[in-house]
Amino acid sequence: MTAAALSTNRVRITARVPPAVQQKLKQAASLTGTTLNQFVIQTALREAERVIVEENVTRLSGRGMAAFLSALDHPLPPNAKLQAALQNHTARRHDQTGTLDWVPR
């Protein structure tokens, strides 16, 4: 692959940090046998993946899971607000395609 092709597959990320932060990052990079850039990217990517998993995965205790599954298996009947919303939705539908007569508030 040519240098020009490689450059189109990458983007630049920059950050300005105090000298003490840079020194600490350099020290950590050195201890792991990586360059400063490699260390920052690897660490940021690992943290990004952790945050994404944490935000996308719901963890329940055994009791919580049992309660959740029970609620799915035995849903409560719709309350008055939900019934009114469904009636409003049905009344606003133009046809079976799902097109709505919607007006923003």
- Model confidence pLDDT, tens digit, residues 8-46: 788 999 999 999 999 999 999 999 999 999 999 999 999
The pTM assigned to this predicted structure is 0.54
Of 56, 21, 19, nearest to 40 (Cα)?
21
Phi-psi region of 98 (alpha: psi -120 to 50; beta: other; left: phi over 0): left
What whole-number distance in Å separates Cα of residue 39 and Cα of residue 41? Answer: 6
What whole-number distance in Å separates Cα of residue 47 and Cα of residue 87? Answer: 46
Largest CA distance in the chain: 66
Decide: 61 and 68 in contact? Cβ < 8 Å. no
Domain map (residue ranges) of the chain: 7-72
